[in-house]
Structure 1
Amino acid sequence: MKTLVCRQYQSPKELSVIDTAEPVIADGQILVQVRAVGLNYVDGLLVQGRYQMKVPTPFTPGGEISGEVVSIGKGVTEFKIGDPVLANVGIGGLAEYVSVYAKQALIIPKGLNFPVAATLSQSYATALFSLRKRGRLTAGEKLLVLGAGGGVGLAACDVGHALGAEVIAAASSEAKLQAARLAGADMLVNYSDSDLKTSVRQLTAGGVDLVFDPVGGDYTEPALRTLKYNGRLLVIGFASGSIASIPVNQVLLRNRQVVGVDWGAWSMAHLDDNRLLMQEILNWIAEGKLHPPHPNQCTLADAGQNMQALLDRQVVGKTAVVF
């Protein structure tokens, strides 16, 4: 089978496609013929050895997949051959066949195609886990989403809107902001040509209740300063490439809070709870409460180049590798 491999920590553009043997499934697993794989910012960090946790080389990147069940291991009763499924696998997804533990997989509901299904789990699960569980967002609150044109940012706009928040989307280009508006944003801020703190305070007549920050760098401090009394800042990631240093007196003022979010670690430690979270997301999509956008698409041979584009923040929304 065709597999994308990272032989050593390297630029994503240097990844190579090789032939490898199909995986042999263990008890409790299913074998999935992969139809699509979601690319994520973290994939590019992993292949460069720049993520907080380093994966020993060689390895195959790709954390979220969709496809069809082609084989079933002993003890698996919830799936049958031919079922369309999605799964979050951490690594190993960028291959034609992937073995998956049944607890990691969910049936794709009717009406959801493979590319959209493959780009759901990391962005939408991160958004819902962050906003509801870590950020305690309630209906009527004001939510500021940084990096609102990226995959997780668009999901945060969509989920925030579904939870009843007033969503302020901040991004670096008009194309990204228009995508955020389609995802449910009520107000838009282009922080490449305006002051983030001033613009947000003017738009909201005083500030916001919750900040969703997957960007970091120079944007975290002005975002923190947009928070009202008892406001919360969610630290999601560092797509800017740098980790912010903030004046902690700004946390003390107005009883603000800075809250860390690591959905990935939580999901691996709480498989059953994460499965319920993902099923809720799929149910909301089926009910029309959430509207995941159609991703950009590429081939396996072009996956490395598209990973680099994510790192360079050139992509609006998500990208799926389609087989």
Structure 2
Amino acid sequence: MRAVRCETHGDPELLMVRDIPEPVAGPGEVVVGVQAASVNYPDVLIVADKYQVSVPTPFTAGSEFAGTVRAVGEDVTGLRIGDAVMGTAFGGAFAEKIAVPASALSPVPEGLDMVQAAAFNVTYRTAYHSLTTFGDVTAGEWVVILGAAGGVGTACIDVATRLGARVIAAVSTPERAQACRDLGAAETIVYRDENLKDRIKEITGGGADVVIDPVGGHYSEQALRAIAWGGRFVVVGFAQGDIPRIPLNLILLKGAILRGFEIRTLAQRLPEVVDRGRSAIATLVAEGMKPHVSEIHGLDEAPKALARVAQRQTTGKVVIDTTR
């Protein structure tokens, strides 16, 4: 089968499409025929060996996918050949087939096609839990989303507006700002043209109630300085590459709550929260919630797709269609 292989850590352009042996379903595992796989920013970091966990080469890139069950291993119940599923893995998604534990899979929600399902799981679970489980967002609150035009950012806009919050989308260009307004953001701030701290205070009339930060870098402190007293600041990731050093006196003076959220370990630490979130997200999907997919590439174009995400040239989600 064909797979996108990382043989040397570095830029996405170093990735190669290779023929490798097909996976076999071991005990408790399922082989899925991948029809679509989405690009997440951590995929770029893993390929570059800049992620929190280092993956030795060679490996197949990709962490999120949707497709149909092709084989079921021993001790697997509840899944049959032909079932439409979506799932996550630490690697292996950018391939025609992948073997994963059955626990890594869930049914494709009614109303989503395979491309949408591949783009849905990581970003929307991240958005939902960062906003609700860790951000305690309520209707009417001002929510600042940094990196709002990216995959997680656009999902946060979608979920937050459906929860009744007022979204301020912080982005890098006017074009990305327009894309966020089209998705429902009440206000936008363009980093390069406006002072983030001053504009947040101006728009909100005193400070943001919640900040969702998947970006890091120097924007984090600016946003924290613009938070209201008692506000919540949720750290989701560091897409900019730099981990900020936050002055803790800001937390003290503002009575702020600073929380970190990592989707990779949430099910291990808070399984009951994940179950409730799955039900709530399914309800939102039934009401029409869908991921914003801006680009679809074939498997051979995977290096280009990752490079575009790495260079922040996209809005929403970028998806690899293995059938192209």
1:123-272 superposed matches below 5 A: 123-267=123-267
8 Å contact 1:209–1:231 — kept in the other structure? yes
1:1-323 superposed matches below 5 A: 1-267=1-267, 274=274, 277-288=277-288, 290-323=289-322
For 1:268 and 1:311, how far apart are their aligned partners in 2?
Answer: 29
**Deviation string for 1:80-126 (max 9, x for gaps)?**
22221100112111110111222211111333111111011111111
Tell me the SS of whatever aligns to 1:134: coil
8 Å contact 1:124–1:152 — kept in the other structure? yes
Instruction: Report the more deviating stretch, 205-214 or 156-165.
Output: 156-165
For 2:272 and 2:21, how far apart are their aligned partners in 1?
Answer: 31
Instruction: Report the more deviating stretch, 249-258 or 211-220.
Output: 249-258
For 2:275 and 2:34, how far apart are their aligned partners in 1?
Answer: 20
TM-score normalised according to structure 1 size: 0.94
For 1:125 and 1:244, how far apart are their aligned partners in 2?
Answer: 24
For 1:129 and 1:5, how far apart are their aligned partners in 2?
Answer: 32
Aligned residue type for 2:311: D
What is the root-mean-square deviation of aligned Cα atoms in Å?
Answer: 1.7
Tell me the SS of whatever aligns to 1:133: coil
8 Å contact 1:32–1:67 — kept in the other structure? yes
Tell me the SS of whatever aligns to 1:36: strand
Q: Structure 2 regions of 5+ residues with no counterpart?
A: none
Q: CA deviation at 1:280?
A: 3.4
Q: Residue 207 and residue 140 in structure 1: after superposition, are their counterparts in 2 closer, same or farther (change >3 A)?
A: same
For 2:285 and 2:71, how far apart are their aligned partners in 1?
Answer: 28
**Deviation string for 1:47-93 (max 9, x for gaps)?**
11111110122111111000011222233332222221100112111
Aligned residue type for 1:303: A
Taking only the aligned residue pairs, the percentage that are identical comes to: 39
8 Å contact 1:155–1:183 — kept in the other structure? no
Q: Residue 138 and residue 44 in structure 1: after superposition, are their counterparts in 2 closer, same or farther (change >3 A)?
A: same
Q: CA deviation at 1:247?
A: 2.4
For 2:58 and 2:148, how far apart are their aligned partners in 1?
Answer: 33
8 Å contact 2:29–2:100 — kept in the other structure? yes
Instruction: Report the more deviating stretch, 31-40 or 232-241.
Output: 232-241
For 1:198 and 1:175, how far apart are their aligned partners in 2?
Answer: 21
TM-score normalised according to structure 2 size: 0.94
Q: CA deviation at 1:178?
A: 2.1
8 Å contact 1:149–1:177 — kept in the other structure? yes
Tell me the SS of whatever aligns to 2:87: strand
Q: Residue 177 and residue 10 in structure 1: after superposition, are their counterparts in 2 closer, same or farther (change >3 A)?
A: same
For 2:134 and 2:156, how far apart are their aligned partners in 1?
Answer: 13
For 1:15 and 1:269, how far apart are their aligned partners in 2?
Answer: 34
For 1:275 and 1:81, how far apart are their aligned partners in 2?
Answer: 25
Q: CA deviation at 1:151?
A: 0.4
Tell me the SS of whatever aligns to 2:192: coil
Aligned residue type for 1:87: G
